Amino acid sequence: MINVETNMKLLFCLFFALCSDSYNFLVFCPLFGHSHTTFFAKIADTLTYAGHNVTFFTPTIVRKFSKIQYVKSITHVLQLDPSDRLVKLGSMFEEKDVSKFWYRDSSLSEMLPMIDTFNNMFVEQAAVISRNLHVLDDLKEMNFDVMIFEHFVEPAYLVLDYLEIQKFIPATSLAFDYNMVKSIGEPLMLSTVPLPTSEYSDRMSLPQRLINAINPLIFDNLIPKNKYRSYRPPYAPINTKSIEPFCSAVFTNSNPYIDYPRATLEKNVQVGGISVDIDKLKSQKVSNEWDAVLNLRPKTVLVSFGSIMLSKDMPINNKITIATVLGKFPDVTFIWKYETNDTSFANGTENIHFSNWVPQTALLADPRLSAFFTHAGLGSVNEVSYLGKPTIMCPIFADQMRNAKMLARHNGSIEISKYDLSNGDKIEEALSKILFDESYKTAAEKLAHQLANQPVKPKELLVRHAEFAAQFGHLPSLDPHSRQMSFIQYFLIDLTAIILSTVILFLFVLFKLGKLMYSKLPFNLSLVKQKTN
């Protein structure tokens, strides 16, 4: 028997097969991060379901990800083995001690070592590909119409150049990527739109606006720029920043009904939510074990801080405080994703169910789950938004601070600081509100209803713009002239200077005339008096 998910996929394929021609897409995605690969795999699957030929090229950087089947429908998946040095760099990147962010800010100084490893990783990835050009030669035979890749993965531009693919779509798995939208000439609006790693909302104070504005300048000047050369003779330098503006479109993992409102260009296609398959999620059933856990008490809360920031690495004082607070809600079952079996800090608390692994999406889709206590990763934010679950967001590092504030503005979630995890009163207050104040549930369900009925679904946006790119390529008419203007021209500083100069000159002349007239006025008055006498 064909299940609901299969039916939906068949209908999706049939609809687009009838309405469009078949194109040849290359999705390039080195394996260095789970969330990044998941996003690009979903892009590849979505295009495949739409009836297109898709090749998923995934050079390995972190070995453990090569064992995961990210794509569901694609038969042509191409991997490339890493060099020993790339394996080492991938391990360094994967094993960076992110646990320090439980008790430290994710400031630029803390992030720089990780970014340095990141850059070295891509330089070596480019070198590995250069030693395996026969792989690219085979790909060249496939005559791809469009190449899709993560915009900051610099080796992608070398592959694009070698394969001589004229049409391409950079993408980002983040909700907002400053460098990508800047490259296509999109207005940044840094006074109201927080940067990806910003701790602020769209309502910033004067000092916060200053920090939000100068951070990109500091970041751009501190991060070393890698230099690459073409794989083809005469091996000319490849300037990624000069290539990117000529893209057909950019795909952003953002949804305008969730994210902060901002001015965008037509080239910026917001496809946030393509990773959330609502029909599949709602058709999922939990196992008998989890079914029994969900039936233990009237309410159930899932506690999980993701796959990078692990609960086991949390400061012990925080663990004890959280366990103590959870024990104050005897009619609520708390499912806590905890990565080891050492849970002695919660001895005597009977309403906590610890598990090394949880079926997160299936639990979130179950109506018996009352709320979610999580870290505000973008994947989790999209899931709770589409499923309408009240949520407590405790951001730890990177883009999680922005994500938490982004969702909280819809009134279906509560944000608490990671530094408040040792404050039992604040945790108890947040749990009481999210569990017993119906306004949070109402707001969360309202957002889910809006997303379910948005005029154009993210998958359709992605497919239509990918097909449009394959058909027409780069459209100069969508390239704003503002991208080529100087800072002075763009912000009308030259015009403002002319107007101010004119006004100042006019006032100066007026002042001089007045002064001249005033200097002659007493003399004229004395003459009048003499004549009168």
Lowest mean pLDDT among 84-93, 102-111, 258-267, 494-503: 102-111
pLDDT band at 149; cut points 50, 70, 90: very high
Q: Are residues 184 and 301 in the same domain?
A: no
Q: Are residues 229 and 369 in the same domain?
A: no
- Whether 530 maps to a domain, the answer reads no
Q: What is the pLDDT of residues 348-357, one digit of tens each?
A: 899 999 999 9
- Whether 8 maps to a domain, the answer reads no
- Pairwise CA distance, residues 405 & 135, whole Å: 44
pLDDT score, position 317:
95
**Type of residue at 131:** R
Q: Is the pLDDT of residue 110 over 80?
A: no
433: which residues sit within 8 A by CB, 6+ positions away? 414, 440
Q: Is the pLDDT of residue 507 over 70?
A: yes
Alpha carbon of residue 94 to chain centroid: 19
Q: Are residues 360 and 243 in the same domain?
A: no
Q: What is the 3-state secondary structure (H, E, C) of 88-113?
A: HHHHHHHCCCHHHHHCCCCCHHHHHH
Q: What is the pLDDT of residues 168-184, one digit of tens each?
A: 999 999 999 988 999 99
Query: Which whole number is the average pLDDT over 144-163?
Result: 96
Coil, helix or strand at residue 477: helix
Closest to 50 in 3D by CA, of 70, 24, 32, 69: 24
Q: Which residues pair with 171 in a beta bridge?
A: 150, 251
Q: Are residues 360 and 265 in the same domain?
A: no
Q: Are residues 265 and 321 in the same domain?
A: no
Number of folded domains that form the chain: 3
Lowest mean pLDDT among 146-160, 279-293, 349-363, 469-483: 279-293
Q: Are residues 473 and 497 in the same domain?
A: no
pLDDT band at 5; cut points 50, 70, 90: very low
Q: Are residues 157 and 223 in the same domain?
A: yes
Q: Are residues 227 and 155 in the same domain?
A: yes
- Whether 235 maps to a domain, the answer reads yes
Q: Is the pLDDT of residue 307 over 90?
A: no
Q: Give per-residue burial for 265-287: e unless 16+ CB within 10 Å, then b.
A: bebbbbbbbbbbbbebbeebebe
What tokens appear for 184 in the block? 């296509």
- Whether 268 maps to a domain, the answer reads yes
Q: Are residues 501 and 445 in the same domain?
A: no
**Domain range spanning residue 214?**
20-272+456-481
pLDDT score, position 188:
87
pLDDT score, position 10:
45
Q: Are residues 37 and 134 in the same domain?
A: yes
- Whether 3 maps to a domain, the answer reads no
pLDDT score, position 198:
86
- Whether 242 maps to a domain, the answer reads yes
pLDDT band at 96; cut points 50, 70, 90: low
Q: Residue 33: give its domain's CATH number.
A: 3.40.50.2000
pTM of the shown model: 0.88
- Pairwise CA distance, residues 418 & 430, whole Å: 13
- Pairwise CA distance, residues 87 & 455, whole Å: 45
pLDDT score, position 524:
55
End-to-end CA distance of the chain: 121
- Whether 531 maps to a domain, the answer reads no
Torsions phi, psi for 411 (to 5 deg): 70, 15
Torsions phi, psi for 129 (to 5 deg): -65, -40
Scanning the structure block, which residue is given the tokens 């992030």?
Answer: 111
What tokens appear for 23 in the block? 């194109």
Q: Are residues 130 and 101 in the same domain?
A: yes
Q: Are residues 331 and 426 in the same domain?
A: yes
Cβ-contact 373, 390 below 8 angstroms: no
pLDDT score, position 225:
78
